[in-house]
Structure 1
Amino acid sequence: MRAFRLTETGMPPALAEIPAPSPGPGQIAVRIAACGLNFADLLMAKGQYQDQPDLPFTMGMELAGTVTALGAGVAGPAFGSRVAVFSGQGGLAEQGVFDADRAVVLPDSMPFEQAAAFLVAYGTSHLALARRGRLTRGERLVVLGAAGGVGLTAVEIGARLGAEVIAVARGADKLDIARQAGARHLLDSAAMDGDGLRDALRGLGGADVVYDAVGGDLGAAALRALRPEGRHLLIGFASGDLPRLAANHLLVKNVDAIGFYWGGYAGFAPGVMRDSLAALLDWYGQGGLRPHVSHVLPLERTAEGLDMLHRRASTGKVVIRCDGGGHIAS
């Protein structure tokens, strides 16, 4: 089978032919239809991710496909089930084997391309906002990187939870996508520096929660616009720079800086993750969530998809079709 592999530190990942695996105890085999790309894949390709797999490995953290075999001791999902899997690795391939308890059965109405874009982005934003950020109806939520893979879901979920959402993104086109997802206020980060963002947020009344997937100067500026007892959620650092969060500011303003790593819940609180994903899939089934996939590419163009993430040339998610499909989504 074909798989997109990282085999050596310092060398770029590439497509390779490897033997198709068979499921072991507690595992399922999946014929993979689609795999979603994430910013973490860029870090893995550089050997810089906080949960880096041992070399060599097949990349791809989340996937969707059809169950083709069950390992010993596995009661389900049943043969032929349509599933999505948060795997951590192995998704950028035509087939894979994964722990059965990492799989969720998909609603019949959910296409594979949307399912492959769903788990990490929506799971991250739901647990970050509802659990760690304690976001409540009527609060003001600032989303940095609001048109990106996780940022756009934070806008959508924040609006669904009843927050007044301020979207911060680069350019009118990306801000319009955030507006369609439920943002009430739009701020163009390409037209302002950190001080300008801080002043603009204060002009809107400040923030109760900041969802920061960007870091750098914008992250530090948004922190300075928090209202008393506000919460700054550290989701990621797409800018490449860590935000400089002054401890004295946290103290004087009575605000919180909160770290959040969604993947960690699979290890220390898997039930919390499962309940969150079940709620999100129920929302999807009710028509309450609309995953945004800007590009769908075939497996042989995976490197191009990763480059889109690096250049921030996409909105929402980039998805790789592993079964021979692929197109530029409208």
Structure 2
Amino acid sequence: MQAWQVHENGEPDEVMRLAETERPTPGEGQVLLRVRAANVNFPDALLCRGQYQVRPPLPFTPGVEICGETEDGRRVIVTPALPHGGFAEYTVADEAAVLPAPKALDDAEAAALHIGYQTGWFGLHRRARLEAGETLLVHAAAGGVGSAAVQLGKAAGATVIGVVGGAEKAAVARQLGCDVVVDRRAEDVVAAVKEATGGRGADVIYDPVGGEAYAQSAKLAAFEGRILVVGFAGGTIPTPALNHALVKNYSIVGLHWGLYNTKNPELVLHCHEQLTELAARGAIKPLVSERVPLAGAAAAVQKVAAGRTTGRVAVVLEGAS
């Protein structure tokens, strides 16, 4: 079979190599899956660079999110078991982690539903306790993680403000349903959000970026607001001033979605059921902006790492729907 392999750490387009390899052999409690589509995530770039919290042994295959097919013909979504990632014709996964792919979504959309939407659901509903009528601010609203949060926020009845970088991404954020869109390249984010909220700020701020985005979040948290720390795609991990959180009466809430797979796996299944229902009634639908063949995976990972994409990029294999 064909599979992308990383033999040394570095930039994805430099260290990912497409090779002919043997199909992986499932271990105890695992299943073999034919990959139908694999979603490209920022963690794939971090894996290539050796900067992710999980460091599989070299060589490994990146690809942390797939829609695949079991040997008995079931269409499923799952996070593959590294080092056998999803940028390959076949992969393996823990049987307990396999979830049915929503019928309302095609393979590329289904592959993009898992990590980003589970992160959004857990972040907004479990950690930040977003309520209908509240204001949600989403940084990088046109990206893969941000676009999921925008759709989930709208489905929850929130007013959504999307912060993006550039006119093209601003147009995407509007199409996703943002009530207000702020282009950080053309506007003062803090001033624009203050104006849009009558000076109050946002009740929940969804931040997968860190760095300057977090600094803006601290200035924009409303009374009893919640800043949801999801990741640091901007490359800088902020050091929050806790006295500021005390004086302004807001919360800083962290989210590591992967922990739920071991600490509370039943809740992951419940979340998937909620997401499947939302997809069935059209309330959410992953924005797949680009579909590439397996041969294009390395370039796609590099493009996502550089922040040059909107929504999701999916690697689609032959025979996918």
Q: Same fold (TM over 0.5)?
A: yes
Find out whether 1:249 has 2:241 as its counterpart: no
Matches within 5 A, 1:94-105: 94-105=89-100
Match of 2:105 in 1: 110
Structure 1: gaps spanning 5 or more residues: 69-78
Find out whether 1:286 has 2:289 as its counterpart: no
Partner deviation per Cα, 1:158-210 (whole Å, 9 max, x = no partner) = 01101110000012221222122221011001124xxx322222222211110
Match of 2:300 in 1: 305
Find out whether 1:201 has 2:193 as its counterpart: yes
Match of 2:179 in 1: 184
Distance 2:180 2:238 in 1: 23
Match of 1:86 in 2: 79
Find out whether 1:58 has 2:51 as its counterpart: no
Q: TM-score, normalised by structure 2?
A: 0.93
Match of 1:273 in 2: 268
Task: Report the aligned-residue RMSD.
Answer: 1.7
Distance 1:83 1:131 in 2: 25
Runs of 4+ aligned structure 1 residues displaced above 3 Å come to 322-326
Secondary structure of the structure 2 residue equivalent to 1:57: coil
Pair 1:307–1:324, CA change in 2 (3 A): farther
Distance 1:97 1:325 in 2: 18
| Post-superposition offset of 1:37 | 0.6
Distance 2:74 2:156 in 1: 31
| Post-superposition offset of 1:36 | 0.3
The residue type paired with residue 4 of structure 1 is W
Q: TM-score, normalised by structure 1?
A: 0.90
The residue type paired with residue 278 of structure 1 is E
Distance 1:6 1:261 in 2: 25
Distance 1:108 1:97 in 2: 22
Match of 2:2 in 1: 2
Residues 60 and 88 of structure 1 are in contact (CA less than 8 Å); yes or no, is this contact kept in structure 2? no
Match of 1:76 in 2: none
Residues 6 and 48 of structure 2 are in contact (CA less than 8 Å); yes or no, is this contact kept in structure 1? yes
Distance 2:319 2:44 in 1: 21
Secondary structure of the structure 1 residue equivalent to 2:66: strand
Match of 1:71 in 2: none
Secondary structure of the structure 1 residue equivalent to 2:58: coil
Structure 2: gaps spanning 5 or more residues: none
Secondary structure of the structure 2 residue equivalent to 1:190: coil
| Post-superposition offset of 1:130 | 0.6
The residue type paired with residue 62 of structure 1 is E
Partner deviation per Cα, 1:207-255 (whole Å, 9 max, x = no partner) = 1110001111122112211111110011111111123421111111111
Q: How high is the sequence identity, in percent, across the aligned residues?
A: 39
Indicate the structure whose relative CO is greater, using CA pairs within 8 Å and at least 6 residues apart. Answer: 2
| Post-superposition offset of 1:279 | 0.8
Secondary structure of the structure 2 residue equivalent to 1:191: coil
Partner deviation per Cα, 1:249-271 (whole Å, 9 max, x = no partner) = 11111111111111221121211
